[in-house]
Amino acid sequence: MAGGALAAKKYIITSTNQIKPSVLKSLQGKAGPAGAAGAKGDAGPAGPQGPAGKNGTNGTNGATGVTGAIGTTGATGATGSGATGATGATGNIGATLTSSASETGTWGFGKQGAGTVIVPISFNIPLLAALDENHVHFIKTNGKEVFFNISLPGLEEKTSTTCLGNAEAPTATSGNLCIYQKSLTAAETPVSNGNIWKAGGAGFGAATAGSYMEITATGAGAFGIGTWAVKAP
């Protein structure tokens, strides 16, 4: 009877305070494992713009630096005192070629057939006086000249002692005109005292303005070139 009456009696627990702490502790189970991470949530809306910040105060200008002192003037350089150069020799430019001065030039011709060719020898600076036939010379490439010898019949050829240069370096001794051969083809060699005439035709030699040289072409393709030099007495 007592047992049945105890079993039939009911108690309603409305608070954990009604349970003995030791019994309550035994009723607590161990924590289960962590659950899987949930899906990433949507981004939240942008927050409102914050108010503008205040302008900063202007900085102050730095002070101007002090002007530096003017430097001292350098010492004056010494004046040069080189010796005066010697006076140069008198030039050839003038009314006439200066005494013992020389001038040079070139000559040349070409002719298709036989006949006489006139080749000018023109002085840029005139001579003070004309030269006679004994002071004009045509010099071959071998250093010799051909001339008429009155005491001998015909022509004579001899090495010149008056014209000592050549076509590449024409020279003349005082009071002479030297005409140098560089090349002469299909033509007779001019005779020094018989084929070189004063300009203007006043006899053999050289006028103050120059000469003209008479050359006989012997066939087709006659050709000649060279140089000349004249030196005033």
* pLDDT, tens only, 126-147: 999 999 999 999 999 999 999 9
Q: How many CB atoms lie within 10 A of CB 180?
A: 26
Q: How far apart are CA 219 and CA 217, in angstroms?
A: 6
Predicted pLDDT at 58 = 76
Over residues 152-158, the mean pLDDT reads 86
Predicted pLDDT at 28 = 66
Closest CA to 201 of 120, 127, 143, 139: 120
CA distances from 123 to 20, 100, 162, 166 (A): 154, 15, 19, 19
Angle ∠(151,153,155) on CA atoms, nearest 5 = 100
Q: How far apart are CA 206 and CA 121, in angstroms?
A: 9
Q: Tell me, yes or no, if the pTM score tops 0.75.
A: no
Predicted pLDDT at 178 = 98
* pLDDT, tens only, 201-229: 789 999 999 999 999 999 999 999 999 99
Closest CA to 121 of 192, 45, 21: 192
Order of strands, sheet of 176-185, starting from the edge strand that comes earlier in the sequence: 102-111, 222-231, 176-185, 136-139
User: Is 225:183 a contact under the CB 8 Å cutoff?
Assistant: yes
Q: How far apart are CA 119 and CA 182, in angstroms?
A: 14
Predicted pLDDT at 2 = 47
**Domain positions in the chain:** 102-231
* pLDDT, tens only, 70-109: 878 878 756 656 687 787 665 555 689 999 999 999 999 9
* pLDDT, tens only, 100-112: 999 999 999 999 9
Beta-strand relationship, 155-159 and 144-148: antiparallel
Q: How many CB atoms lie within 10 A of CB 150?
A: 6
